[in-house]
Amino acid sequence: MADNPQPELDYPQTPAAPERSETPPSRKGIKRRLFLAGTALVAGGGVFALWWADSSARSKAKALVEGKGEHAFAAWVKIAEDDSVTIYSPHIDFGQGSHTALGQMLADELDAAWDKVTVEQAPADLAFANAALAKGFLPLMVGETVAGLIPDAVIGMMARAMPLQITGGSSAIRFTGEVAMRKTGAAVRAALVAEAAERLGGPERELATGDSRVTHAPSGRSLRYGELAAGAAQRPLSSDPVLKTRAQWKLIGKPIPRRDIPAKVDGSAVYGIDFTLPGMRVATIAMAPVRGGKLKSLDEAPALAVKGVETVVRLDDAVIVVGKGYWQARKGLEALAPTWSDGGHGAISTAAIYAAQARLRQSAQKPDNESGSGDVEAALSAAGARRIEAEYRVPFLHHAMMEPFALTGHFKDGKLHLWGGLQDPLSTRTRAAKAAGLAVEDVVFTPMIMGGGFGRRFPDLVEIIDQVAVLAMQVPYPVKLIWSREEELRHGTYRPQSSALLTGAVKDGRITAMRIDYVQSGSAEGEVPFIYDLPAVSRRHFAYRSNQIDGPWRSVNATQLGFYTESFIDELAAAAGEDPYRFRRKHLPEGSRHVKVLDEVARRASWGTPLPAGVGRGIAIVESFGTIVAEVVEAALKEDGTPKVLRAWAVVDCGTTINPLNAEAQIMGGLIMGLSSAMGEQVTLEKGAVVESNFTDYPILKLADAPPVVDVHFIDSGAKTGGIGEPGLPPASPALVNALAALTGKRIRTLPVLAQAKA
Amino acid sequence: MAIAFTVNGQPVSVTVEEDTPLLWVLREELGLTGTKFGCGVAACGACSVQVDGALVRSCSLPVGEAAGKAVRTIEGLKAADGTLHKVQQAWIAAQVPQCGYCQSGQIMAAVALIEQVGTPSDAEIDAAMTNICRCGTYPRIRAAIRAATGAAAAATAASVPAEQGDA
């Protein structure tokens, strides 16, 4: 038999020091959580030590990760006497490559030899809470000026108070990397140099670092980092270390292969769903078909009669069958005929939601959020202006992470142990503790590799934590709960179904006014910038919720707003009789980064050159998560009349690219996910329940329909580092429909495209 | 009842219901978790393996139908000395995986394609590579298949008969 890839039986230690109980996070955004804590702590602030040198967090981190011959310097890094360097990432890497990129940033500033560096997931412990994330998001909430006044130590306290170990918002590199990893690497390097100065007897200015070694050039003597680690780890870390200049970078900006890839091509990587323990049982679940519904009645006998089924557990809104393995549990579940209430949501349908959204838009006294400038109403009705209006609609979207939810739990010796892949290890613990009725310190969570996420794995929105916590408290053995794809698809926290009315006016070849009235659960104001420079513009958000739980879906509100705005700009260009690229260009601020990105994508895609018959070309530009992306798509119609993307280009300004190889993959993947969603994806509701069931009726773009090559180009503007995981997605859907409009003359305003083609 | 077959050249015998999909036998009875569960209805291909040299979606193949046959999984692509299959090497060189969850199935599909046609054309790649990748790694999958092709075709001719002989 081949090597069994299952991990060794491993019950991690609960952190030694008790922590205060944290209240579990409510279903509110990161920003809200940060804002509340920020307000409280700013008011009572006044601590001036730096967060990574915070002695209590540092000693706690040391206790958690230091082995024999190893020396922890800060929450993020330890150096062993054999020169090996371990970097702890507070971000989960679900395939976006952030572990490698964060490692590059810290190791470069540290001047460590890359082959001696490993990057690991930080333990789910408050000592590893991510202050850099708090610091990064803070200016978005309170403004740069106020954020700049908040001492770093207070931000560290905020992160631990949240608690914050979130991966999301394309934040890993631009916040954690820039704020925490680089500075920590530089500060540790400085401590090693100070230690070497004492040992080698030379002044620090005569010492040079490189390849995990400090060298005193005049004498030719040198010491390895491993030799210096013990002494250096006792030294205070500089609060304001000198960072390398771009010219000094050896790792940042280089196309370094990802560390996690070899285990992902030979089957040895252990994902959450692969985890196993001796004596473990496997469970699967059926949840109320209508979200908000409850379990009404259940006869458990048919499941218990299935060979291999062990027990049936009822939850308020679900039934769990536990078996020897997944298949037995699944057969047991299929033998059941539970009845469910609909929670009063039986009249909800996709059409009813769109109708309710239109009514709300027309009848609301005032919007819930708005932004803009100028007198839009006056400009829209000005004499000589051509006014056009269009309604756009986008459906709920399933995240479709390829690994369905799976979480293993075992209640043993008073502790609840959990293993699985979730986006925020710390709040996973708090949520599980609440569901199990335990103190947070009695829950131990081990994060595992994740088979995709795309926004679905935020613990705030993940019911499987509660389900496993409750289940594990009731059974005497370890148990792994696996959601079927059907349950995964029908109980998502979808990208919201959203609709918008766009109104605009053009006069003498220029847009004189534009208004976007959009209806959906969350506001995009303050999140998705409006990039065009117009005399009058207004964006108004009307809040509407159905029975569904709307969640973040890769690139969040930038998908809807990007689709609405960039489709409508093309409509305005057509109304003005202008070329879509040139029309965009003259409405973007002159000399801006946006213009450079747009020009470069047009140049690379040979915009304006003749196309073969039957091919259309579309362009779009969206800024999200601090990164500007323009994309061009060439599309044709297949023999059956459905569209196919032939070629695609993306030009990206994310400031600085940390790992071009990986950044290219993220942009390419985002573009393809955007095309996939625009082409065929939709979650629809009838009688309050989701209609689609699996990939058979929820089509994900496959290789044959994806562009064979995506030309991705980065403009190294040196501007503030932006995100890379999400910004590639939003321009894809408008670029596609713009290409189809150019090809067919027909404007598609309701996604997905294939549903329109069939209709 | 006991069902016997070989996995990656090794004889195995499992006592499970005959309708149990091969996927769950590989994962839960034999501990070979490189083969993944994605949809359960043969729509995504994450569970792709070879049975007697043919590419099969193991979530929808009752293990009873594998009795007496040779099953090959992602764990069985390496040579005895641990050298990765040319397709796996090409996957690393092209930095294909992102989350990686679908990649065992993608690699199994690519290996089967190359063993079948040698050097596939773009149209043959389009027709054969029907596995879903949510991360959108398709352009790199295509590039890796092309990069692997010449070398992999040669390696296939040398190594496959031997492996089948073991089975």
- Report the DSSP beta bridge partners of residue A502: A390, A516
Helix axes A225-232, A182-200, angle to 10 degrees: 100
pLDDT at A57: 60
CA–CA separation, A308 and A284 (whole Å) = 13
CA–CA separation, A571 and A620 (whole Å) = 12
In B, residues 83-102, which contact A (CB 8 Å cutoff)?
84, 88, 91-92, 95-102
Short-list A46, A754, A127, A14, CA closest to A443:
A14
- Report the DSSP beta bridge partners of residue A634: A617, A647
Q: Are the beta carbons of A668 and A710 closer than 8 angstroms?
A: yes
CA–CA separation, A224 and A228 (whole Å) = 7
pLDDT-based confidence at residue A621 (cuts at 50, 70, 90): very high
Say yes or no for a CB contact (<8 Å) between A95 and B46.
Answer: no
Helix (H) or strand (E) holding A214: strand A213-216
Q: Does B120 touch chain A (CB under 8 A)?
A: no
- Report the DSSP beta bridge partners of residue A47: none
- pLDDT tens digits, A421-433: 987 788 899 999 9
Helix (H) or strand (E) holding A7: none
pLDDT-based confidence at residue A89 (cuts at 50, 70, 90): confident
Where are the domain boundaries for CATH 3.30.365.10 in chain A?
Answer: 30-262, 272-342+405-482, 350-396+494-758
- pLDDT tens digits, A313-352: 999 999 999 999 999 999 999 999 999 999 999 999 999 9
pLDDT at A278: 96
C-alpha distance from A421 to closest chain B C-alpha (Å):
12
C-alpha distance from A5 to closest chain B C-alpha (Å):
7
- What CATH number does the domain located at A30-262 have? 3.30.365.10
Higher pLDDT residue, A572 or A203? A572
CA–CA separation, A711 and B140 (whole Å) = 12
C-alpha distance from B6 to closest chain A C-alpha (Å):
9
> Percent of chain A beyond pLDDT 70?
84
3-state helix, strand and coil shares in percent for chain A, rounded to the nearest 5: 35, 20, 40
Residue at token pair 């994962």: B27
- Report the DSSP beta bridge partners of residue A615: A636
Over residues A295-314, the mean pLDDT reads 98
> Percent of chain A beyond pLDDT 90?
72
Half-sphere exposure of A141 (CA within 13 A, CB side): 19
Say yes or no for a CB contact (<8 Å) between A267 and B44.
Answer: no
- pLDDT tens digits, A246-264: 999 999 999 999 989 999 9
pLDDT at A759: 54
Say yes or no for a CB contact (<8 Å) between A5 and B33.
Answer: yes
Q: Which residue of chain B has the CA closest to A94?
A: B99
* Cis omega (within 30 of 0) for bond into A163: yes
pLDDT at A170: 60
Query: What are residue A93's phi and psi, to 5 degrees?
Result: -105, 100
pLDDT-based confidence at residue A54 (cuts at 50, 70, 90): low
Q: Would you tell me how many other CB atoms lie within 10 Å of the CB of residue A8?
A: 5
Where are the domain boundaries for CATH 1.10.150.120 in chain B?
Answer: 86-156
CA–CA separation, B103 and B121 (whole Å) = 21
Q: Which residue of chain A has the CA closest to B78?
A: A266
C-alpha to C-alpha distances, A551 to A28, A435, A575, B162, nearest whole angstrom: 10, 21, 36, 51
CA–CA separation, A279 and A284 (whole Å) = 17
Q: Does A39 touch chain B (CB under 8 A)?
A: no
Over residues A205-234, the mean pLDDT reads 94
C-alpha distance from A490 to closest chain B C-alpha (Å):
13
Handedness of CA A282, A288, A292, A293 (dihedral sign): negative
The rounded mean pLDDT for chain A is 87
Q: Are the beta carbons of A59 and A629 closer than 8 angstroms?
A: no
Three-class secondary structure of residue A350 per DSSP: helix
Q: Which CATH architecture has domain B2-76?
A: Roll (3.10)
Short-list A752, A698, A685, CA closest to A547:
A685
Where are the domain boundaries for CATH 3.10.20.30 in chain B?
Answer: 2-76
Two tokens at A573?
């260009």
Angle at Cα B166 formed by Cα B165 and Cα B167, nearest 5°? Answer: 90
Short-list A451, A537, A203, CA closest to B38:
A451
- Report the DSSP beta bridge partners of residue A627: A624
Say yes or no for a CB contact (<8 Å) between B74 and A5.
Answer: no
pLDDT at A286: 98
Residue A488 pLDDT > 80, yes or no? yes
CA–CA separation, A212 and A111 (whole Å) = 6
Q: Would you tell me how many other CB atoms lie within 10 Å of the CB of residue A759?
A: 6
Residue A18 pLDDT > 50, yes or no? no
pLDDT at A65: 72
Over residues A28-41, the mean pLDDT reads 35
pLDDT-based confidence at residue A183 (cuts at 50, 70, 90): confident
Q: How far is CA A235 from the centre of its chain?
A: 36
Over residues A90-108, the mean pLDDT reads 82
Angle at Cα A520 formed by Cα A518 and Cα A522, nearest 5°? Answer: 105
Lowest mean pLDDT among A450-459, A703-712, B140-149: A450-459
Higher pLDDT residue, A414 or B162? A414
Of B92, B99, B122, the CB nearest to A451: B99
**Amino acid (1-letter code) at residue A351:** A
Q: Which residue of chain A has the CA closest to B13?
A: A1
Say yes or no for a CB contact (<8 Å) between A402 and B99.
Answer: yes
Q: Would you tell me how many other CB atoms lie within 10 Å of the CB of residue A212?
A: 23
Pairing of strands A309-315, B2-7: unpaired
C-alpha to C-alpha distances, A472 to A52, A375, A415, A458, nearest whole angstrom: 36, 60, 11, 21
Over residues A719-739, the mean pLDDT reads 95
Short-list A558, A499, A506, A504, CA closest to A528:
A558
Q: Are the beta carbons of A396 and A677 closer than 8 angstroms?
A: no
Q: Would you tell me how many other CB atoms lie within 10 Å of the CB of residue A24?
A: 17
Three-class secondary structure of residue B55 per DSSP: strand
CA–CA separation, A3 and B53 (whole Å) = 22
Two tokens at A226?
């491993």
pLDDT at A132: 55
Residue A304 pLDDT > 80, yes or no? yes
Half-sphere exposure of A440 (CA within 13 A, CB side): 20
Residue A35 pLDDT > 60, yes or no? no
Substitution target from A1, A98, A265 for chain B, most B beta carbons within 10 A: A265
- pLDDT tens digits, A491-517: 999 999 999 999 999 999 999 999 999
Two tokens at B166?
């073991």
- pLDDT tens digits, A356-404: 999 999 998 899 999 999 999 999 999 999 999 999 999 999 999 999 9
Q: Are the beta carbons of A118 and A85 closer than 8 angstroms?
A: yes
CA–CA separation, A481 and A321 (whole Å) = 9
Q: Would you tell me how many other CB atoms lie within 10 Å of the CB of residue A74?
A: 26
The residues, any chain, with a CB within 8 Å of residue A612's CB and separated by 6 or more, are: none
Q: What is residue A537's DSSP assignment?
A: E
pLDDT at A172: 63
CA–CA separation, A53 and A49 (whole Å) = 7
Q: Are the beta carbons of A77 and A84 closer than 8 angstroms?
A: no
* CATH assignment of A350-396+494-758, among 3.30.365.10, 3.90.1300.10, 3.30.70.370, 3.40.50.11600: 3.30.365.10
As assigned by CATH, the class of the B86-156 domain is mainly alpha
Over residues A447-454, the mean pLDDT reads 92
The parts of chain B modelled with pLDDT lower than 70 are 150-167
Q: Does B50 touch chain A (CB under 8 A)?
A: no
Q: Which residue of chain B has the CA closest to A694?
A: B39
Q: Would you tell me how many other CB atoms lie within 10 Å of the CB of residue B62?
A: 15
Two tokens at B130?
């029907």
pLDDT at A9: 41
Over residues A745-754, the mean pLDDT reads 97
- What CATH number does the domain located at A272-342+405-482 have? 3.30.365.10
Q: Does B78 touch chain A (CB under 8 A)?
A: yes
Q: What is the ipTM of this complex?
A: 0.91
